[in-house]
Chains A and B, each alone.
Chain A
């Protein structure tokens, strides 16, 4: 017997769509200087955020985003049932340390840069299933912790590849609730880990584009919807190259999204002015663009219904050295103005 709330192969349909009652976004100076600079709640000038290490700074970013969201929703942390969070540090340490300080029952997530969408999908499941009234979903990334872990020390003299993206320094949090006012989450499509043989750790867009495409196609087939049912289909952090690749792959599947298709990693920076090469990436990329710009556009009525697709490259620091190819993941969530 098929699951009652599942439609098609991979899509969850929420019978009482959870409400996104508030969001909080915190970014660094580079993000603030980008085209979406005005849409963020807080800008922190110091990459150390007053702390001793970048890792501690990243945790502060995460906590700040959560506190901003709680304040906007006029809630205290005691009124939250679950804290769903993830980041890119080893064993998602930034989230774990933030969870310790917040004291909310914590589910740690790792979906690479797709984590915010994985979290929103799971948070919606908890609420629609009657297991929670309110959950906070939050993620963070930090340019320096990510470079340190996955690439080179920031002071090492290496030329960045033109296909490489720039990790967003920041954090985003959203509060999902069973009741309240705000946009609602109506569907979620859980992606498969898709690998089309790409192995270049300097070209995440190429590794993730097939996964984003697979999830979008699956979502449209599962729901019977077409591209025109959405005002915008926005992927997480494919960047300039990945977006073009995904667009091409979608056309190969017979879906032409044309002007409705964009990517958070393309929106967040100005590649000409900011020397970001392929665009933005990192957990915070999709989180601060979704929690900031996209939700604001929905609230302002400029967008009625969007399909957000968080994208992630599922590698670790050693897997490319071991000759593994890089699986990509895409999780889609439908956010609708009500």
Chain B
């Protein structure tokens, strides 16, 4: 059941991205959509609206970039609860540390190992 929900919710979030891509002006680029999704996820999470979606769909809510925004915001909140003001600064990246480090390290090595085909 959770797989079906993950598929459905993950797919629908991507559909929103596709509609933004196809129906808005050329000024909306993939970069704008990625930034928009992270920001939206972070804001929804701040109002406590994203966690229910995660509980409903699991990876379906975590894997799209909105989930990345959710993780950053939840990190900030957990940071505050643990360390107060310092947690405001340390929390977001602490929560996202594994993903960010993976992206940098794998990005670096694959960029060096491979040559673009063109």
Give A residues with C-beta under 8 Å from B: 47-48, 54, 143-144, 152-156, 158-159, 161, 200-203
Contact = CB atoms under 8 A, between A and B. Distances in A.
Instruction: Report the interface size class on chain B.
Output: under 10
Contacts of B21: 159
Contacts of A158: 30
The dominant DSSP class at the B interface is loop
Nearest to A152: B30
A184 to B, nearest CB: 39
A154 B21 CA distance: 19
B26 A153 contact: no
Interface in B21-74: 21, 26, 30
B26 A144 contact: no
A154 B118 contact: yes
B117 A200 contact: no
Nearest to A156: B30
B33 to A, nearest CB: 10
B118 A143 contact: yes
Residue of B30, B116, B117, B118 most packed against chain A (CB within 10 A): B118
A200 B30 contact: no
B67 to A, nearest CB: 19
A156 B117 CA distance: 11
B26 A201 contact: yes
B26 A154 contact: no
Contacts of B26: 161, 200-203
16 contacts: A47-B118, A48-B118, A144-B116, A152-B30, A153-B116, A154-B116, A154-B117, A154-B118, A155-B116, A158-B30, A159-B21, A161-B26, A200-B26, A201-B26, A202-B26, A203-B26
Interface of B: 21, 26, 30, 116-118
A144 B118 contact: yes
B117 A155 contact: yes
B111 to A, nearest CB: 10
A161 B23 CA distance: 12
Nearest to A163: B26
A203 B118 CA distance: 22
B63 to A, nearest CB: 15
Contacts of A47: 117-118
Contacts of A153: 116
A13 B115 CA distance: 50
A144 B30 CA distance: 19
B118 A54 contact: yes
Nearest to B30: A158
A194 to B, nearest CB: 20
A133 B35 CA distance: 58
Contacts of A156: 30
A129 B117 CA distance: 47
A81 B117 CA distance: 39
Nearest to A157: B30
Contacts of A54: 118
Nearest to A159: B21
A203 to B, nearest CB: 8
A158 B26 CA distance: 13
A145 B24 CA distance: 28
Contacts of A159: 21
